[in-house]
A and B are shown apart, each in its own frame.
Chain A
Amino acid sequence: MNQKELKKRLTELEDKLIGIEEPRENCIYLNCESQNSFAVNKFLFEELRLRFVIATGIDAEDCFEVIYHYANDRAGSMVNLKAFIRNRKKPAIDSIATFLPAAEWIEREIHDILGIDFNNHPDMRRLILADDWPEGVYPLRKDMDSKIAQGWTCKTSIRPSKKSPARRTIPMKKPILAVGPFHPLQEEMEFFQLATDGEIVTDIDMRISYNHRGIEKISESLQFDQVPFLVSRICGICSASHPLAYVQAVEELAGIEPPVRALYVRTIINELERIHSHVLWFGLAGHFIGYDTVFMWAWKYRETVLDLLEEITGNRNNYGNVTVGGCREDIPDELKPRIIKDINFVEKKTNMLIKAVDDDPILHARLKGVGVLSYEDAVKFAVTGPTARASGIDIDVRRDESYAAYDQLDWDVITRPEGDVFAKVVVRLLEVVESCKIIKQAVQKIPDGPVAMKVKQIPPGEAIGRVEAPRGETFHYVRSDGGNRPVRHKVRAPSYVNVPSFKASCIGEHIADVTITLAAVDPCYSCTERLAVVDGENKVMHDYESLLRMSREKMDRISKDLGVEKLKLEDL
């Protein structure tokens, strides 16, 4: 649907809204009262088929706002629905997770950080705050500022207690297998409980929060030009995408256009990052299915890209190269031949890997038809990036709402219809080849000129920046009151919507396939948990003894209920 049609359809909503604003082209804000938000959301998602991006909860002093962000990918535009909750004492709003599973996590998150209740939410457990975070303390409410300024932090007990409000959950009659929080499968912590029937997974539950660092709150205490260094530490692998998305939002807010050369530099660094991220993932995927040779080879090629990045920005990761109004470091002309040479090498090796994957019958047997995420599920969970493109959804922010220099270069968006792990492998590898194409063109076309400009004042207002990170769309929302710090900075990383899709892709799979299915999304938990805190009490995750005890207690209970003698593990 193009922008004109969209605006026409939006007029149907008039009686439910209290205003429509369009501060910039391709960015529409709809305002409504909280009681109408459910109907309007349903209309936007089901009638207009917009893609749900995320919701932002804001404490606006006199009321609470929940902003639902939708993307219209065909026109590359955003539609934002602002719902005002006037009752500050008992803030509540209708949940939209009932028809939109993609909103389930963010509603739990907003409940954690702002204390807004979502009526009829299917599963209102704690999401991002720790298990022993005190009840009734909401870190993103403005009245928390003074407490945090006085050095208030959550205390954790040395001996964790057993009851936890965040605790599950799966009505488990079957043995549980825990994955995490420290598990060789993942570099980061998260906790999956797999209910299994023999080797088949029947249910999955996830607990995050281990990586929640409160970045959105820290961001409010930093100046506009300091924030990029914070957001590049949201995730070490996306450390070029997050700052770029933030910077684009601020530049839109300030109404400035950075110099063209800076746009090319940003393109090159972002594509280098995509290559190193995809190759890294490919190696890890090989490792997960016991193919260590592939892991070593892929990481060896990846070092070439890291050396280039180090040469350009001074660091292997965390480049800190993007600033509001341009770039910190230029790409010197004498480096160009080396970039071309190294990228040619990487391209050659990637083509070799593609051929190896294509020729290997064992890989076909192991990965095809495994962990399928269907097109319908992909839409419902609003996944992005390679995860979406491998399920046949043709979206890519680089093309849909072009930024940096992508619209001046020739490249393709790769999609595959199958939705299985194999499709995800293929999409990522082919994307590496496309990235090589982009970099080579950008290096040849890069114009002369400065790479940075002076920025004086960030006016009040709100703006959105979107960037296609290696894992999908990275979304940053910035609101300014005219001061020198953002009053609200919302980040949504791609894994935040990709990870919950495990619910659709893992159930019914073999345990041996679950790990590769989980990995296939290329989950990045650092990204997912920029924001949350903690509550309640907790359980020890990696402690197999307690896990076993739990599961035995459960078995006891069940066998008592059923009046059957329980099967002992030792009898096996």
Chain B
Amino acid sequence: MMERIPQYLFWILIFPGFVFTVLIGLVASWVVRKVSALVQWRVGPRLYQPFVDILKLLGKETLVPRGSQKALFFAAPLIAMTAVLLLSTMLWRIAFDRIDFIGDIIVAIYLMVLPSLALILGSSASASPHAAVGTSREMKLVLAYELPLALALVVIVIKNGGQLNLAQIAQNNVVFSISGLLAFLVALLCVQAKLGFVPFDIAEAETELAGGVLIEYSGALLAIWKLAQAMMLVALPLFLVLAFLGGFTVLWAGIAKYVLILVLLILIKNTNPRMRIDQAMKFFWVYCGFALILAVVLAGLGNYYGIGWL
């Protein structure tokens, strides 16, 4: 066991963990900004912009607001970052080497919730009314999208005959069936909400809440948040690729799938106005919930009668 520790450390810290994910994540966040700019007839930022932003934030003073819960205020971004780091390392290992264990899809779900919880903790620790409103919205949003996301994964599990092993699930291309497609679309929207992109950027709505949950963060702590968000931009689409689109069987195909999901997210982001929190909850619970119940039934029937396309 002991002799493997250096290798685990290498996985987590260098490849495919921290350094690799951060690199990809920052490039992906550049793609998001650049494509948004092109849609808006602008030139947009240069490739190294996200890197410089992080570097600059690291060089700035970190202000801690008076009246805040200091320990929690510092811990929250670290919790978020650690969770995403674990998640992305795990997913990359599954994608590249099929290193897996039974039930890892459930671990993935938990790791995906952690950053949102950390955000809630951090912003409520920062003692600001705007952050407080942002917090309450983020909480409602988490409640709204976690249920459909879990249901979407239930569809996946049914389609794979009760398989809880992500590497096994990644062998199948579930999206080429009615229930799989429905589940994929809903999961895509849940990821949109998890990433805090329009139309679900309700918690960070800068015009309503002056930056919302992150309003009191500055300097290095803000840089950690930004890094965690950039890494989410890698981990969450990667999860979708593994769960729905058949994983990284061939490297270039896997990359193409990842880019496809990124482009879909950006397009949704740029063609929609922000939803109101009650509208978003209704959307996730009523419409997505209904679609998913249908998908679960279809998947069950398809499984029972052996009809693949249902």
A and B in direct contact, judged by CB atoms within 8 A: yes
A543 to chain B, nearest CB (A): 9
Q: Does A412 contact B (CB under 8 A)?
A: no
A289-B273, A289-B274, A544-B215 are known contacts. Are A184 and B127 too (CB-CB below 8 A)?
A: no
1/0 per residue A423-451: CB within 8 Å of B? 00000000000000000000000000000
Q: Does A293 contact B (CB under 8 A)?
A: yes
Q: Majority SS of interface residues in chain B? A: loop
Q: Which residues of A contact B246 (CB under 8 A)?
A: none
Q: Which residues of A contact B205 (CB under 8 A)?
A: 290, 512
A521 to chain B, nearest CB (A): 16
Tell me which of A8-16, A26-34, A115-123, A171-179 binds B.
A171-179
Q: Which chain A residue lies CB-closest to B130?
A: A544
Q: Give Cα A184 to B40, complex, Å.
A: 20
Q: Are A515 and B208 in contact, CB atoms less than 8 angstroms apart?
A: yes
Q: Does A124 contact B (CB under 8 A)?
A: no
Q: Are B274 and A548 in contact, CB atoms less than 8 angstroms apart?
A: no
A177-B130, A512-B202, A549-B67 are known contacts. Are A363 and B273 too (CB-CB below 8 A)?
A: yes
1/0 per residue B27-66: CB within 8 Å of A? 0000000001001111000000000000000000000011
Q: Give Cα A294 to B274, complex, Å.
A: 12
A512-B208, A544-B215 are known contacts. Are A292 and B124 too (CB-CB below 8 A)?
A: no
Q: Which residues of B contact A363 (CB under 8 A)?
A: 273
Q: Are B276 and A510 in contact, CB atoms less than 8 angstroms apart?
A: yes
Q: Which residues of B contact A291 (CB under 8 A)?
A: 198, 272-274
Q: Which residues of A contact B275 (CB under 8 A)?
A: 362, 366
B125 to chain A, nearest CB (A): 7
From A175, A300, A362, give the contact of B41 (CB < 8 A): A300
A-B pair number, CB within 8 angstroms: 105
From A175, A286, A290, give the contact of B129 (CB < 8 A): A175
Q: Does B135 contact A (CB under 8 A)?
A: yes
1/0 per residue A223-249: CB within 8 Å of B? 000000000000000000000000000
Q: Are A296 and B125 in contact, CB atoms less than 8 angstroms apart?
A: no
From B39, B65, B199, B206, give the contact of A184 (CB < 8 A): B206
With a 10 A CB-CB cut-off, give which of B39, B216, B273, B274 has the most chain A CB atoms: B273
Q: Are B273 and A184 in contact, CB atoms less than 8 angstroms apart?
A: no
Q: Are A544 and B208 in contact, CB atoms less than 8 angstroms apart?
A: no
From B41, B129, B270, B271, give the contact of A176 (CB < 8 A): B129
Q: How large is the interface on B (under 10, 10 to 19, 20 to 34, 35 or more residues)?
A: 35 or more
Q: Are B65 and A545 in contact, CB atoms less than 8 angstroms apart?
A: yes
From B67, B124, B206, give the contact of A545 (CB < 8 A): B67
- List A530-564 residues whose CB lies under 8 Å from chain B: 544-545, 547-549, 551
Q: Are B207 and A185 in contact, CB atoms less than 8 angstroms apart?
A: yes
Q: Which chain A residue lies CB-closest to B200?
A: A290
1/0 per residue A360-373: CB within 8 Å of B? 00110110000000
Q: How large is the interface on A (under 10, 10 to 19, 20 to 34, 35 or more residues)?
A: 35 or more
Q: Give Cα A569 to B135, complex, Å.
A: 10
Q: Which chain B residue lies CB-closest to A513?
A: B276
- List A245-285 residues whose CB lies under 8 Å from chain B: none
Q: Does A316 contact B (CB under 8 A)?
A: no
A153 to chain B, nearest CB (A): 31
Q: Give Cα A254 to B132, complex, Å.
A: 59
Q: Are B42 and A296 in contact, CB atoms less than 8 angstroms apart?
A: yes
Q: Which residues of B contact A293 (CB under 8 A)?
A: 39-40, 270-271
A185-B207, A545-B67 are known contacts. Are A510 and B278 too (CB-CB below 8 A)?
A: yes
Q: Does B146 contact A (CB under 8 A)?
A: no
Q: Does B277 contact A (CB under 8 A)?
A: yes
A204 to chain B, nearest CB (A): 15
- List B272-296 residues whose CB lies under 8 Å from chain A: 272-279
From B127, B135, B272, B276, give the contact of A512 (CB < 8 A): B276
From A296, A513, A548, A572, give the contact of B40 (CB < 8 A): A296
Q: Does B307 contact A (CB under 8 A)?
A: no
A184-B210, A296-B41 are known contacts. Are A177 and B273 too (CB-CB below 8 A)?
A: no
Q: Does A359 contact B (CB under 8 A)?
A: no
Q: Are A548 and B133 in contact, CB atoms less than 8 angstroms apart?
A: no
Q: Which residues of A contact B67 (CB under 8 A)?
A: 545, 548-549
Q: Does A183 contact B (CB under 8 A)?
A: yes
1/0 per residue A297-338: CB within 8 Å of B? 100100000000000000000000000000000000000000
A293-B270, A296-B42, A513-B276 are known contacts. Are A551 and B129 too (CB-CB below 8 A)?
A: yes
Q: Are A544 and B202 in contact, CB atoms less than 8 angstroms apart?
A: no
1/0 per residue B149-177: CB within 8 Å of A? 00000000000000000000000000000
Q: Which chain B residue lies CB-closest to A363?
A: B273
B217 to chain A, nearest CB (A): 12
Q: Are A572 and B69 in contact, CB atoms less than 8 angstroms apart?
A: no
1/0 per residue B166-197: CB within 8 Å of A? 00000000000000000000000000000000
Q: Which residues of B contact A569 (CB under 8 A)?
A: 124, 127, 132
Q: Which chain A residue lies CB-closest to B204?
A: A290
Q: Which residues of A contact B65 (CB under 8 A)?
A: 544-545
Q: Does A128 contact B (CB under 8 A)?
A: no
- List B40-99 residues whose CB lies under 8 Å from chain A: 40-42, 65-67, 69
Q: Which residues of B contact A178 (CB under 8 A)?
A: 129
Q: Does A570 contact B (CB under 8 A)?
A: yes
Q: Are A365 and B40 in contact, CB atoms less than 8 angstroms apart?
A: no
* Closest 6 A/B residue pairs (Cβ): A290-B274, A296-B40, A544-B128, A291-B273, A512-B276, A289-B273
User: What are some 23 contacts across the A-B interface (CB < 8 A)?
Assistant: A176-B129, A184-B206, A199-B278, A290-B205, A290-B207, A293-B39, A293-B270, A296-B40, A362-B272, A511-B133, A512-B202, A544-B129, A544-B131, A545-B65, A545-B127, A545-B128, A548-B67, A551-B129, A569-B132, A570-B124, A570-B125, A572-B124, A572-B132
Q: Which A residues lie at the B interface, using CB under 8 A? A: 175-178, 183-185, 199, 286-294, 296-297, 300, 362-363, 365-366, 510-513, 515, 544-545, 547-549, 551, 569-570, 572
New contact pairs (11) apart from A544-B215, A572-B135, CB-CB < 8 Å: A175-B129, A177-B133, A199-B136, A289-B274, A292-B270, A293-B39, A293-B271, A512-B208, A547-B129, A548-B128, A569-B132
Q: Which B residues lie at the A interface, using CB under 8 A? A: 36, 39-42, 65-67, 69, 124-125, 127-133, 135-136, 139, 198-199, 201-202, 205-208, 210-211, 215-216, 270-279
